[in-house]
Structure 1
Amino acid sequence: MRKLTLRILKTLPTKYIASGLILIIILFIYGIVGSYFIMGLNLIDSIYYATITMATVGYGDYTPHTGIQKIFATTLAIGGVALLAYVFNMMLTTFQERMNEFSKGARKLKVIENMEDYYILCGFGRVGQVVFNELNQRNQNIIIIDKDEDVCEKIEETDNVVVLNKDATEDDGLIAKLAGDKCRSVILCAGDDVINLFIVLTIRETNPDAWIVTRSSKLENIKRLRKAGADKIISPEVIGGKDLYFESTRPHLLKITVKHSSYEILDEFKIITKHGCTLENIEYHLPGIETPLTRQIKTMDLSDGQRFVNHLSTHDDQRNALDNLYKTVNDVHSHLIAGPDRATFDKLVKDLEEIEEIIGINLTNKEIAKITEKEIK
């Protein structure tokens, strides 16, 4: 208890204490000067009279007789009582607030001790809020750490959400202590890469197995964060660039759902490249399930398709795995194809119809799930 009290006293706002002491000193000087010139006392007696009057002790050693002496003694006594009361009240109020903060912090740490499988989210800016919403929708346990007091006060705490108004780079290795066995992942969302780098290094010193996902605001810092020990680095620039690309090509994207075996892959790819189109990805549709299995391709070079087929011809295990995948989805899959214009897509579809069964164009996953559900029945 003694150590806690000393710690709280050390954290009291020094500016309030300093301003209070300055006011007391000014009033004390006023008392000494007034006692010397108004009361007619010597310097030692002036100090003595100013002290006992400010403290309202009043031993009666010196009694004011004239009007000006009485006014001086009255202002000194009232000023001393008011000022001392104000300063001590301010210190006690601040002390109580600090006690409440420490008590609240202790309760939060107790909740964290009893929390299992939690995520640590450092930084609650625009990116951090998006991550929080995703975690919260899934009822995950979340510990939010942010140094902005106003931001922390706006976050609603629940049984699954604990908010710590602390600086993860300064608070006695708090982040390293929390990133232990019970922590599923540490997610660093600070907009400053230097801060994220420092936190990664801090965690790695004591938790080599912690799973760390960090934001990188600048592409050139991705390598530094990876060397520091981050497991995954996400760059809003890269993600934003991909989104901009796909949105810009939206009028020139075609999703075509087809049915054919794995042995017709090259013939299909020849037609796609012949029309100058790019195969962005392939989606394999499990019967009755809306979410497909997706493979990114992103190529328009026929040699890539030929190389893939040649590879399968010399690797029986991978050929068998691909055949089994096609059997699982009953040969139903979709291609996302980027092309120059709609006229090209019309020609592409017409050529594909000659070699394979086309189930639909630009179907939603829900529509495809209903179609494939019939395969189950």
Structure 2
Amino acid sequence: MKRLTLKILTRLPTKYVGTGFILVILLFIYGIIGSMIIMNLNLIDSIYYAVITMATVGYGDLTPHTGAEKIFATTLALGGVGLLAYVFNIILTNVQEKMTKYSKEAKKMRAIEEMDDYYILCGYGRVGKVVFDELVERKQNVIVIDKSEETCENIPKHDNVVILNEDAIEDDFISRLINERCRSIILCTGDDVINLFIVLTIRESHPDAWIVSRASKLENVSKLKKAGADKVVSPEVIGGHDLYYESTKPHILKITVKHDVDEIYDEFKIITDHNCTLENIEYHIPGIETPLTRKIKTMSIMDGRNYRNYLNSHDDQKQALASLYRTVNYVHSHIISGPDKATFKRLIKDLEKQEEIIGINLTNEEISKLTAKNIIE
């Protein structure tokens, strides 16, 4: 009976720890009152008897004799064993849970310390998920912060992703993660007040951090900018895809070049060799400011090989692409994302050996003026 009671009570949920302590106190009061009434003991002896019976010590100096006394002693002993075992089990369980949590957190912090560069993503909702997918697809290191334990458990696990089940606005938690290896902080929570508070907190300790924030309401865009956000994006206007691009703006390169179709693969190989992603290609029609845009979004050399083989086996497609190149006088721009500015410098240096570079980060207006004046043939 003793073992059965212990087994049942120690399996109770840990949320009842407070109730357990209250029940122990009530049982203790029951033991004192019962000892005085049923056992006919004085107050001091009643306290003593209640304690040794609940603890199942039983020195034998006070022994029940009548049936009522034995029933009282039995209920007090069983209740004491069960409740004390439950309370101690809860204490040990809580300690174990905290130790496990600290161990996991320590492991995650070590993983963050080993990251060369990373993005901090606050909030994994509908918009946050889109940004997360964009980052992971490009093999970027990501720290995801979300206060919902259930949400954190459902986030896909990757080697380059660290998931922190924390509240970003508590104890300047997010500020402690920002250093020279942090590329960007992306705030995707659906609460503009929380985003505003995080921006203010970060700006206070990290004035140079690159912060991109979501604004659920258009009227809060100006407030977030005044608070210190470098870019504010409203999903009412653009989506998570554009939020990602804004966050990577310090690491986005637009390079305008001139070459023919046969150099496509060699150029793409150079880009992938530098661990960069070819996001888009813009074809500039002479004199027209708005370019023709072609979405690429790949950093796999295999994609480049497959496309080269496709053109070599489909002469009509290759001729059509060659015709497009002739239409734009072979002038087009590559939108490239990469790890850092130093990588871009090396990339540009290697591309210069392969092709003619017209300019870096030129605006469409500048390019259209160049083509309109026939500066570029």
Class of the TM-score when normalised by the shorter of the 2 chains: 0.5 to 0.7
On the 8 A contact 1:193/1:221 being kept in 2, the answer is yes
Question: SS where residue 65 of structure 2 aligns?
Answer: coil
- Out of 271, 286, 292, the residue aligned to residue 283 of structure 1 is 292
Partners of 1:96 and 1:32 in 2: CA distance: 34
Q: Using a 3 Å threshold, how does the CA distance of structure 1 residues 320 and 136 change in structure 2: closer, same or farther?
A: closer
Structure 2 vs 1, CA of residues 320 and 219 (structure 1 numbering), >3 Å: closer, same or farther?
A: closer
1:287 corresponds to which letter in structure 2?
A: Y
**1:84-139: CA deviations, max 9, x gaps?**
01110111012101110111001100110111110000000000000000111000
Where does residue 308 of structure 2 map in the other structure? none
Q: For the structure 1 residues 259 and 126, does the alpha-carbon distance in structure 2 shift closer, same or farther, using more than 3 Å as the test?
A: closer
Indicate conservation of the 8 Å contact 1:283/1:292, yes or no. no
Which residue pairs with 1:110 in the alignment? Answer: 110
The equivalent residue for 2:92 is 92
Task: After TM superposition, give the deviation of residue 283 of structure 1 in Å.
Answer: 3.2
Q: Are positions 1:165 and 2:174 aligned together?
A: no
Are 1:211 and 2:210 matched, yes or no?
A: yes
Q: What is the CA–CA distance in structure 1 between the aligned matches of 2:203 and 2:24, rounded to whole Å?
A: 51
Unpaired segments of 5 or more residues in structure 2? Answer: 1-12, 243-282, 295-323, 335-364
Contact 1:283 / 1:293 at 8 angstroms: preserved in 2?
no
- Say which SS state the counterpart of residue 239 (structure 1) adopts: coil
Superposed displacement of residue 49, structure 1: 0.8
CA distance, structure 2, for counterparts of residue 46 and residue 142 of structure 1: 63
Alignment of 1:1-377 (within 5 A): 16-170=16-170, 172-239=171-238, 262=287, 281-283=290-292, 287=325, 322-324=369-371
TM-score by length of 1: 0.63
CA offsets per residue over residues 329-365 of structure 1, 9 Å max, x none?
86xxxxxxxxxxxxxxxxxxxxxxxxxxxxxxxxxxx
After superposition, the C-alpha distances for 1:284-342 in whole angstroms (9 at most, x for unaligned) are 89839999659xxxxxxxxxxxxxxxxxxxxxxx9897234775886xxxxxxxxxxxx
Cα distance between partner residues in 2 of 1:42 and 1:148: 54
Judged with a 3 Å threshold, the aligned counterparts in structure 2 of structure 1 residues 83 and 260 are, in CA distance, closer, same or farther, namely: closer
Matched residues in 1 for 2:129 and 2:210: separation? 20
Task: Please give the alpha-carbon distance, in whole angstroms, between the structure 2 residues aligned to 1:97 and 1:292.
Answer: 58
Gaps of 5+ in 1: 1-12, 244-257, 266-279, 295-317, 331-377
Paired residues in the alignment total 262
Cα 1:215–1:326 shift into 2, 3 Å: farther
Q: From the superposition, tell whether residues 162 and 78 of structure 1 become closer, same or farther in structure 2 (CA, over 3 Å).
A: same
Which structure is larger by alpha-carbon Rg, 1 or 2? 1
Going from structure 1 to structure 2, the CA distance change for 1:158 and 1:328 (only over 3 Å counts) comes to farther
What displacement does 1:282 show?
A: 4.2
Q: Find the aligned partners of 2:161 and 2:285 in 1 and give their Cα distance.
A: 49
C-alpha distance in structure 1 between counterparts of 2:285 and 2:333, whole Å: 17
User: Residue deviations 1:130-155, cap 9 Å, x none?
Assistant: 00001110000000000000000111
- Counterpart-to-counterpart distance in 1, 2:118 and 2:208: 15
RMSD value, Cα: 3.2
| Kept after mapping to 2: 8 A contact 1:135/1:142 | yes
Paired residues of 2:20 and 2:87 also in contact (CA < 8 A)? yes
Q: Percent identity?
A: 62
Conserved? CA contact 1:52–1:58, under 8 Å: yes
The CA deviation at 1:239 is 2.5
Which letter does structure 2 place at the counterpart of 1:96? Q
SS of residue in 1 equivalent to 2:237: helix
- 1:168-221: CA deviation from partner (whole Å, max 9, x where unpaired): 001x21211212110011000011111001111111111111110100111111
The answer to whether the 8 Å contact 1:287/1:329 transfers is no
Counterparts of 1:33 and 1:292 in 2: how far apart (Å)?
A: 92
